[in-house]
Structure 1
């Protein structure tokens, strides 16, 4: 009933333990608290909270317009609804190194299991768009060191994202990404998020460069091929995210339903595509509320 039964501290500890096994952990992107609960119900290992989704939820583009308060608040709402660990996109840390330090503590307090901080110039842009710029290595390392020094729970995962691969073509960009990944690990990063890798071989090159977990971003319509979980596991990837996929599917379905209302005037033909009321009530755990107060739940839903 209400929120997750597992504490934030326990979720972080269990996440670290599972990550240490080397298996591939699957983190679909949740676009709201209810979708996080559905991700858990379907048997995934974790929940990802995308900055692009948080921006889109506000009707804004993913160019660094969201604030720490907005991100931490929405992250808390999502993380508390599931017993799974939740990793959140913290963009560039919302400012200078001291801001990064505060960001990590705010996200700890919000119940997240981890966050990634990127090395883009502020204002940032979506990692799979052209024209990105990254900060110099010293600035990137200061961000990570600030976050590591600030955290109070050693199990809170601080992941470093690097977008440097896209700044140079061919092998030179990949070499830059490998070198920066190594430096970020030396600065204290617990994991590496190499953004916009194009091939399995590029993921494998980053895997060979560092001895910490690495993450693959399988976002649609981007720079990377959409590799399967099995393919990513075969080259040593430890976490895979589908950051915006569930939002895209949901918005696509919503658009088609609105077209149906315009064209037909009702949604009778769409009933088979909808989540049934009974399934929604099961996901909400309505019956547990009945145990608490029979006046809340005193009816049955017919299928």
Structure 2
């Protein structure tokens, strides 16, 4: 009932322990708290909260328009509904190094298990679009050092994302990743890798957990979890996939309403009311107050 029973500290510790084991952890992207709970019920290892999804949820493009308050608030809503650890996209940290420091503490307070800070300039762009620009190494390093210095829970995962591959090539990406690890990053998110060989090269370059981004319609081929595990990746995310599927289904349902005037033909595609009630533990609320739930859900 209500929120998760696992504390944020335990979620962070559990994530750290699993990452230390070297396995590949699967983190689908949650577009709201309910989808985070479904990700948990389906047996995944964690929940990813995409900045692109948070922006899209507000009807905005992913170009750095969201604020720290909006991101932390939505992150809290999602993280508290699941026993799984949640990692959130913190863009460029919402400002200069002191802003990055505040960002980390706000996200800790929101119950997140970790976040990633990227090395793009502001205004940033989606990681799989052309025309990205990155900051110099000194600025990127300062962001990560500020993040590491600011955290209060040593298990809060600070991941450094680098977008330099698209701007300056793979050699630059390897060099930037090494510098970010030296600055204290717990993990590296090498954005827009194009081949398994590029992921493998990054694996050989640094000795920290690595994240692979399997976003559709982007620069990377959509490799399987097993392929990524075979080259030593530690986390794989599908950041916008669930939102895309949901919006695609919604669009088709609206077309059906226009064409048929009702949704009878779409019933088999819908989540049944009984399944929704089970997912949100509707019946358990009866133990708190019988006026909240006093009927049986018919299947």
TM, length-normalised to structure 1: 0.98
Equivalent residue for 1:196, pick from 192, 195, 203: 192
1:143 aligns with 2:143: yes
Please give the alpha-carbon distance, in whole angstroms, between the structure 1 residues aligned to 2:273 and 2:73. Answer: 28
> How do 1:120-139 and structure 2 match up within 5 A?
120-139=120-139
Stretches of structure 2 that go unaligned for 5 or more consecutive residues are none
In the alignment, which residue of structure 2 is the partner of 1:289? 285
For the residue of structure 2 that corresponds to 1:212, the secondary structure is coil
In the alignment, which residue of structure 2 is the partner of 1:207? 203
In the alignment, which residue of structure 1 is the partner of 2:164? 164
In the alignment, which residue of structure 2 is the partner of 1:153? 153
* CA RMSD, Structure 1 to Structure 2 (Å): 0.5
Alignment length (residue pairs): 299
Please give the alpha-carbon distance, in whole angstroms, between the structure 1 residues aligned to 2:292 and 2:220. Answer: 48
1:227 aligns with 2:217: no
1:279 aligns with 2:258: no
Please give the alpha-carbon distance, in whole angstroms, between the structure 2 residues aligned to 1:297 and 1:278. Answer: 13
In the alignment, which residue of structure 2 is the partner of 1:102? 102
> How do 1:1-303 and structure 2 match up within 5 A?
1-168=1-168, 173-303=169-299
For 1:82-135, what per-residue CA distance to the aligned partner results, in whole angstroms no more than 9, with x for missing partners? 000000000000000000000000000000000000000011000000000000
For the residue of structure 2 that corresponds to 1:2, the secondary structure is coil
Q: CA deviation at 1:302?
A: 1.6
Please give the alpha-carbon distance, in whole angstroms, between the structure 2 residues aligned to 1:133 and 1:216. Answer: 21
For 1:199-258, what per-residue CA distance to the aligned partner results, in whole angstroms no more than 9, with x for missing partners? 000000000000000000000000000000000000000000000000000000000000
Q: CA deviation at 1:291?
A: 1.4
For 1:41-87, what per-residue CA distance to the aligned partner results, in whole angstroms no more than 9, with x for missing partners? 00000000000000000000000000000000000000000000000
Please give the alpha-carbon distance, in whole angstroms, between the structure 1 residues aligned to 2:14 and 2:283. Answer: 28
Please give the alpha-carbon distance, in whole angstroms, between the structure 2 residues aligned to 1:54 and 1:297. Answer: 32
Please give the alpha-carbon distance, in whole angstroms, between the structure 2 residues aligned to 1:167 and 1:275. Answer: 43
Please give the alpha-carbon distance, in whole angstroms, between the structure 2 residues aligned to 1:278 and 1:18. Answer: 34
Q: CA deviation at 1:297?
A: 1.1
Please give the alpha-carbon distance, in whole angstroms, between the structure 1 residues aligned to 2:61 and 2:150. Answer: 29
Stretches of structure 1 that go unaligned for 5 or more consecutive residues are none
Please give the alpha-carbon distance, in whole angstroms, between the structure 2 residues aligned to 1:188 and 1:66. Answer: 26
For the residue of structure 1 that corresponds to 2:295, the secondary structure is coil
For the residue of structure 2 that corresponds to 1:193, the secondary structure is strand
For 1:168-189, what per-residue CA distance to the aligned partner results, in whole angstroms no more than 9, with x for missing partners? 3xxxx11110110000000000
Please give the alpha-carbon distance, in whole angstroms, between the structure 2 residues aligned to 1:73 and 1:221. Answer: 29
Please give the alpha-carbon distance, in whole angstroms, between the structure 1 residues aligned to 2:283 and 2:247. Answer: 30
